[in-house]
Amino acid sequence: MLINTLAQETTPLVLILDDYHVIRNERIHSALIQLMARMPATFHLALTSRSEPPLELTRLRARVIN
């Protein structure tokens, strides 16, 4: 539902998640991976973390480059 709602939004939206390194719950990581894989063009996500988060970032970076 969240992704569908975001897809209907025409105004740019930025979600900033600070200190992501403290999140240990796999369900949260999985949900964020799903969100990042389907983010609409008007939605931007910024993560700050002291370590590499378990979010398949390499695959997502490759998708953005192509």
Number of domains the chain contains: 1
CA dist., res. 13 & res. 38, Å (int): 15
**Segments forming the whole domain that contains residue 46:** 2-65
Amino acid in position 62: A
Write the pLDDT tens digit of every residue in 8-29. 989 999 999 999 999 999 999 9
Does residue 57 register a pLDDT over 90?
Answer: no
CA dist., res. 33 & res. 38, Å (int): 9
pTM above 0.85, yes or no: no
